[in-house]
Amino acid sequence: MASSMRSLFSDHSRYVESFRRFLSHSTEHQCMQEFMDKKLPGIIARIGDVKSEIKILSIGGGAGEIDLQILSKVQVQFPGVHINNEVVEPSAEQITKYKELVAKTSNLENIKFAWHKETSSEYQNRVMEKKVLQKWDFIHMIQMLYYVKDISATLKFFHGLLATNAKMLIILVSGTSGWDKLWRKYGSRLPQNDLCQYITSSDLTEMLDGLGIKYECYDLLSTMDISDCFLDGNENGDLLLDFLTETCNFTTTAPPDLKAELMKDLQEPEFSIRKEGKILFNNNLSFIVIEA
C-alpha cells in the first residue's frame, strides 16, 4: 500500500463533505423513511403499554433527522404520552445540529430531550459505574456499529437495558450489499484505522445467534449513484470515491493498479447496476429488530 494513502477519518472536514455527498447521491434516507412508514408502527405497537412515560435511547443519533421520524411514529402510536428521549452522540457538531433541528420542529411538546456527548462505550462505562441500570422501552443504533470496538459486548449490554415489551432497532449495511463485497476484497489494501471497522448484517446476525438473542431482520433496497466517479477530475466523483474507500483523496493517492482494479469492479453486477445511463452502487440496508 502506498504510504501516501491515509484514512478519510484523518481529515474531518473532508469526511463530513464526502458523507454529505453520499447522502445526497444515495437513497439511504428514503430507504429508512420507507421502513419507518411501513414497518416501524407494528414494531413499536406495544412498547408503551400501560406506561405514563416512554423512554427512548438513541445511540449515535447524529443530527437527529431519523430520530425525529422515529419519535413522530411513537407519538402517533401513543398520543399524549410523555416521551423521554436521550441521545448518546460523540460529535459536538452533530449535537448542535440536532438541537437546531429540534428548535425548529413543531409538535415536540410532550418530548423531553437530553444529549450526552460521548461514545456508546463511554456511556456504557458511566452507567456501569453508577450501578443503577436505567431500563428503556426503545433503543436504536442507526449506522453506528462500525465505530464500536467490541460489538458483541455492546449488543449484550444494551440488550440488558430493555424493559418489558421493549425493542432495539439496529440499522446497518446488508450482507447482500456492494459494501460487503468491497470490504472483503479491498479492506486489507485500504488505509487501516482504529475509528471504523467493516461489519454488515451478516456479521451481526451471527453474533446475535451466538449470544442467543432473538431478532428479526428486514432487508430494504437502496442505491448510491456513483456515475460521477468515472469522470476524470469530477470533484463530486472524487468525494464519493473517498467515501466508498474511506480514503482521503483516493483518486490521487491510490496506486494505479489498485485504482484501476477497484474502478473496474465498481461497474460489475455484484457491486452495481446500470439504470437509465447511471451506475448505481448496491447500498442495501438491513433493519434488525431485537426483542427484550
The reported pLDDT for the residue numbered 194 is: 60
The reported pLDDT for the residue numbered 175 is: 95
- pLDDT of 2 strictly over 60: no
* pTM assigned to the model: 0.92
The reported pLDDT for the residue numbered 3 is: 54
Point out the annotated binding site.
28, 60, 89, 94, 120, 142, 283
The reported pLDDT for the residue numbered 132 is: 79
pLDDT digits (tens, 9 = 90+) for 92-117: 999 999 999 999 999 999 999 999 99
Point out the annotated binding site for substrate.
28, 283
The rounded percent of the chain whose pLDDT value lies above 90 is: 88
Q: Exposed, middle or buried, 172 (CB in 10 Å: 0-12/13-18/19+)? A: buried
Q: Could you tell me if 177 and 284 are in contact, meaning their C-beta atoms sit under 8 angstroms apart?
A: yes
The reported pLDDT for the residue numbered 1 is: 44
| Sheet strand arrangement including 223-225 | 223-225, 278-282, 272-275
What is the average pLDDT across 121-143? Answer: 92
| CB neighbour list of residue 46: distance below 8 Å, 6 or more residues apart | 165
Cα–Cα distances (Å) from 246 to 12, 278, 289, in that order, read 12, 22, 28
Share the mean pLDDT of the chain.
94
Residue 274 carries which side chain, given as an amino acid letter? Answer: R
- pLDDT of 124 strictly over 70: yes
- pLDDT of 192 strictly over 80: no
- pLDDT of 122 strictly over 60: yes
Can you read off the three cell numbers belonging to residue 196? 471504523
What are 217's strand-pairing partners?
Answer: 288
The reported pLDDT for the residue numbered 195 is: 65
SS3 104: coil
Instruction: Assign 130 a pLDDT band (cuts: 50, 70, 90).
Output: confident
pLDDT digits (tens, 9 = 90+) for 46-75: 999 889 999 999 999 999 999 999 999 999
Which phi and psi angles does 71 have, rounded to 5°? -60, -40
The rounded percent of the chain whose pLDDT value lies above 70 is: 98
Point out the annotated binding site for S-adenosyl-L-methionine.
60, 89, 94, 120, 142
Q: Please give the CATH topology (third level) of the domain spanning 39-173.
A: Rossmann fold (3.40.50)
SS3 185: helix
Cα distance between residue 179 and residue 200, in whole Å: 8
pLDDT digits (tens, 9 = 90+) for 209-239: 999 999 999 999 999 999 999 999 999 999 9
Instruction: Assign 156 a pLDDT band (cuts: 50, 70, 90).
Output: very high
Of 181, 174, 198, which is closest to residue 268 (Cα–Cα)? 181
